Amino acid sequence: MNTVISIVVGIVALFIGMQMFMVLKMKFKKGKQAPQLDGKAGRMVANGDKVLFYFYSPGCRACKPMTPFIKNMAKRNKRIFPVDVSHDMTTAQKFGVMGTPSTVVVEQGKIKEFLVGFQPQDRVQGLLA
């Protein structure tokens, strides 16, 4: 019985440690130069515009409540780019995205915010204010 408890505690500790590592890694990306991108998003980043990238996966449970409102916002705001990582892994790799959902705000060519996990709609709207 003690062995089972030890294994469970070890797995939980490992999971928590991995989550903390991901969060800290994202925090270190703030202020770094944004990667070079192609297309409209790349031109906007190069011009210093404030741009929001939302990285998601169709099978991601945490993405399911967030993706519809992000896509709806993107229809009305040309500075929002939803990126389906199952179709565009290259952009996700350039930003160093390790999990979905991830929300990245770029301003003046630098990463201003790098958030991992579900974000409420009002917070996402505030990121572009």
Domain boundaries, the chain: 2-127
Q: What is the pLDDT of residues 65-95, one digit of tens each?
A: 999 999 999 999 999 999 999 999 999 999 9
Give the closest residue to 105 by CA, choosing from 48, 23, 21, 43: 48
Q: What is the pLDDT of residues 11-55, one digit of tens each?
A: 766 656 555 555 545 445 677 888 999 999 999 999 999 999 999
Instruction: Return the CATH number of the domain spanning residue range 2-127.
Output: 3.40.30.10
Pairing of strands 51-56, 110-116: unpaired
Return the H-helix or E-strand segment holding 52. strand 51-56
CB 116 within 8 A of CB 102: yes
CB 62 within 8 A of CB 117: yes
Q: What is the pTM of this model?
A: 0.79
